[in-house]
Amino acid sequence: MYIEFIATTIEDVILIEKAGADRIELVSSLTEGGVTPSHGLVEAAVRAVNIPINVMVRPHSQSFSYSEEDLAIMKNDIRTIRSLGANGVVLGALNERNEIHRGYLEELIAECAGLEITFHRAIDDTPDPVRSAEILAHYPEITTILTSGGHGDLPSRIQTIQRMKDVCGNMVILVGSGLNKDNILSISSELNTGYYHFGTAVRKNNGLIEGVALEKAQEIVNMLKKG
């Protein structure tokens, strides 16, 4: 069982490690779905804990379709993130039809030597997440897909994730969005991916702005790892 929690501050980072999670996704502006955090925060986070930190590479929250200028910023951020000792990056790029932008993706991958790569929930905005997972399977550098199985009701999304598992090769399917202590055990037993990603479920008042609540984070870790 592998558990990843989202952090937006150095306090979050420390509490997440204390709770017993396996990895941190470090972002800023959770209210906007997460964008690239400051380099100062990345450096402080890497120094503060021993568990792996994967850093969001997303220059803005307007869309997952980027300009050449955006792409240049993302490349520079990746180089800096690697120099600061992070474990990996979390990224994605779509074209104007919301399909995976393979050209941009390949340029980003070329900057990621030595880093784990997670393709984030941009995949859920593509017309066919299963086909998108099949495309990503052609890139051995990508270790993980973070997904909620697209959009729609939970049963249909679970079916989509099952189909994504069948086509994604050696990539890990990291299930995220909407997971909480009330549904995670049933979802885990049905999907059995073994990799789960939590955001607001471990935060005070389940909010986007308040910080991680240690007790809530520990409860989920204990449910998954000891239950």
Angle at 205 between CA 2 and CA 37, to 5 degrees: 60
Position 50 scores a pLDDT of 98
For the chain, give every domain's residue range. Answer: 2-121+177-226
**C-beta separation of 42 from 55 below 8 A:** yes
**C-beta separation of 163 from 128 below 8 A:** no
Mean of pLDDT values over 4-23: 98
Mean of pLDDT values over 167-174: 95
pLDDT digits 0-9 by tens, 115-125: 999 999 999 99
User: Two tokens at 72?
Assistant: 């240049």
Residue 33 φ/ψ region, left for φ over 0, alpha for ψ in the -120 to 50 degree band, beta for the rest:
left
Q: Extract the runs of DSSP E, i.e. beta strands, from the chain.
A: 2-7, 23-26, 53-56, 88-91, 116-119, 142-147, 172-176, 195-198
The length of the chain, given as a count of residues: 227
pLDDT digits 0-9 by tens, 175-198: 998 899 999 999 999 998 999 999
Q: If one looks up domain 2-121+177-226 in CATH, what number appears?
A: 3.20.20.380
Mean of pLDDT values over 151-161: 93
